[in-house]
Amino acid sequence: MSTPKHSRPARRSGSPGRTKLVLSGVVVTLAIVGAVLWFVRPSGGGAPVSLNDVERRGQILYRANCASCHGTSGQGQVNWQSARPDGTRPAPPHDVTGHTWHHADAVLFGIVKEGGAYAAPPGYAATMPGFKASMTDQQIIEVLTYVKTIWGPKERQYQSSMSEMGPFPSDAQR
Ligand code: HEC
Residue range 112-142, pLDDT digits in tens: 999 999 999 999 999 999 999 999 999 999 9
Can you give the pLDDT at residue 20? 72
Q: Is the pLDDT of residue 169 over 70?
A: yes
DSSP 6: G
In the predicted model, what is the mean pLDDT of residues 161-171? Answer: 95
- 171 φ, ψ to 5°? -95, 20
Distance 92 CA to ligand 1 centre (A): 7
The mean of the pLDDT values for the chain is 85
Per cent of the chain over pLDDT 70 is 72
Judged against a pLDDT cut of 90, whether residue 161 lies above it is answered with: yes
Q: Do 58 and 168 contact (CB within 8 A), yes or no? A: no
Q: Say how far apart CA 108 and CA 94 lie, in whole Å.
A: 11
Ligand 1 proximal residues by C-beta, below 6 Å: 65-66, 68-70, 89, 91-92, 98-100, 103, 108, 111-112, 116, 126-128, 131, 143
What is the pTM (predicted TM-score) of this model?
A: 0.78
- CA proximity to 117, closest of 149, 153, 87: 87
Alpha carbon distance 50, 124 (integer Å): 38
CATH 1.10.760.10 matches 53-162: yes
